[in-house]
Amino acid sequence: MIEILHTSLAFILAIALLIAVHEYGHFSMARRLGIKVEKFSIGFGPALFSWRSKDNEVQYIIAAIPLGGYVKMLGENPDEQAEGVQTELSDADKARAFNNQPVWKRAAVAVAGPAYNFLFAILAYMIIGWLGQAVLPTIVGHVNPASIAEQSGLHVDDRIISVENKPVHSWQQMEERLKQKVGSSTTIQVLRDESTIELNLLLPHPDKDPLLMDISDQVLGFNPGLIVRIENVMEGSAAQHGGLQKGDIIKQINGWPVSNVSQLIKKIKAQPEQAVSLTVQREQTLLQLQVTPVADQQGEGRLGVKLASQTIHGTEMYRMNAWDGLAYGFVRTWEMTTLTLNVFGKMVTSAISPDNLGGPIAIAQLAGKTAEMGLVYFIGFLALISVNLGVLNLLPVPILDGGLLLYLGIEKMIGKPLPPKILEITQMLGLILIVGLMVFAFYNDISRLFRG
């Protein structure tokens, strides 16, 4: 119950903050350009709190449902552009109505919301750089025999210091750089016994999309070196019958070193109803156990354990100086923006399954998890979601900011606004599309919950 409450509070705080940033972008730009703003709401539904601005012009609202927000400007809705409505406005209000503004002003208001999301992400990543973050060091802990990494001369305990002469300070950053080189060759610089060595790597195209893979491990054949530990043993399972216990560290399977969870699971799946030999470390003792995986409904082997992994070398604190942190804010925001566009494009073309799309439950879970991990991780989560909001709202879909920019572009070309009827129809279609996308994402969330 406490965990659900914590997750809910973290989710509400994150969504309310990011929506406030986005809507404040629209609000502040409209006010600066002299457009009359009537309402500024964080959330939808019944108002929990409301108050008016000092000039009594704007009504500020905190509403009950914190899953959206809006800025209501005079003359922005299609029905307000219908013939006869504006005759009731004073000359002063007509001059300040949104639909009476030149195209560039309306475009500036539309862009300001997503722009503030990107600015927020830039600032958030700067703060992360300055505060410092615990990162997985780029120290090689395991190299698979006969792998590309081994054939290229990579050794255990090598520290990778750059990819294509660009410094890397964490395993994640190195992995992202390697993903960009799939299908070509690259060079890495490693520190070995206080000497710098340059190695050439050829990265072939994998079967799956690189975004869904660990390139270093699954393609090149090296990883940071993981300890695979049993977190829980199911009652009556093959693992329990074979003598496995909570806390055991699995060192080998059939004489092969176990370097990660996915490798172990793959070998177990391939041997249903066949005894496998496991070498496990229990406290300070090495044990040799025989375990027979049970076949599941798909005919794949199952041990009935919950596994976890931790790296051999742990984590390191990486903190940037003032200038590097400043640059990191811009660079990281650009990287996450291009990554978001790349993922979205591949979902549209089915190169990546839309089943990977997450909805409010997935976001809430991530919010709760990062909040538990600490302030830096939660700020990183906020930055990531803010980038996604910025990108999503710039898509050329009616009812989104990108849709308004599309309308304004057409208006600029034809020399007059689109008819209100066309605006109503296209916005309804846009609403159906967005609601459908949200329903699909929510369905994915529920499906993942049932699959565990």
Summarize pLDDT for 133-167 with one digit per residue, the tens: 888 999 998 898 899 999 999 999 999 999 998 89
Summarize pLDDT for 319-335 with one digit per residue, the tens: 999 999 999 999 999 99
pLDDT bin (cut points 50, 70, 90) of residue 69 is confident
Question: Is 151 found in the same domain as 115?
Answer: no
Structural domain for 151, as ranges: 142-222
Q: Please, which residues bridge with residue 278 across strands? A: 253, 289
Residue of 23, 57, 164, 176 marked catalytic: 23
The answer to whether 368 and 6 are in contact (CB under 8 A) is yes
Summarize pLDDT for 331-383 with one digit per residue, the tens: 999 999 998 888 888 777 766 666 666 666 667 677 777 777 788 989 999 99
Q: Quick check: is 304 in a domain? A: yes
The answer to whether 41 and 66 are in contact (CB under 8 A) is no
Question: Is 125 found in the same domain as 19?
Answer: yes
Question: Is 267 found in the same domain as 218?
Answer: no
Compute the mean pLDDT over every residue in the chain, rounded to the nearest whole number.
Answer: 86
Of 290, 309, 328, the residue that ends a domain is 309
Question: Is 182 found in the same domain as 88?
Answer: no
Question: Is 121 found in the same domain as 9?
Answer: yes
- pLDDT value, residue 82: 47
Question: Is 211 found in the same domain as 252?
Answer: no
- pLDDT value, residue 2: 67
- pLDDT value, residue 405: 94
The answer to whether 69 and 137 are in contact (CB under 8 A) is no
Residue 153 sits in a domain whose CATH number is: 2.30.42.10
Q: Quick check: is 216 in a domain? A: yes
Higher pLDDT, 282 or 355: 282
Q: How many domains does the chain have?
A: 3
Higher pLDDT, 313 or 27: 27
Q: Quick check: is 373 in a domain? A: no
Residue type, 275: A
Question: Is 122 found in the same domain as 103?
Answer: yes
Question: Is 76 found in the same domain as 31?
Answer: yes
Q: Quick check: is 12 in a domain? A: yes
Question: Is 300 found in the same domain as 212?
Answer: no
Question: Is 52 found in the same domain as 171?
Answer: no
Q: Quick check: is 346 in a domain? A: no
Question: Is 117 found in the same domain as 41?
Answer: yes
Q: Quick check: is 368 in a domain? A: no
Residues 6+ apart with CB under 8 A from 175: 214, 215, 216
Q: Quick check: is 329 in a domain? A: no
- Does the active-site annotation cover 175? no
- pLDDT value, residue 85: 47
Distance CA 255, CA 238 (A): 20
Half-sphere exposure of 81 (CA within 13 A, CB side): 17
Distance CA 253, CA 274 (A): 13
Of 196, 222, 248, the residue that ends a domain is 222
Q: Please, which residues bridge with residue 51 across strands? A: 60
Distance CA 116, CA 446 (A): 32
- Mean pLDDT confidence for 407-416: 90
Of 252, 277, 309, the residue that ends a domain is 309
Q: Quick check: is 325 in a domain? A: no
Question: Is 178 found in the same domain as 217?
Answer: yes
Enumerate long-range contacts of 321-329, CB under 8 Å, 24 or more apart: 322/130, 324/129, 325/126, 325/127, 325/129, 325/130, 326/126, 326/129, 328/125, 328/126, 328/128, 328/129, 329/121, 329/122, 329/123, 329/124, 329/125, 329/126, 329/129
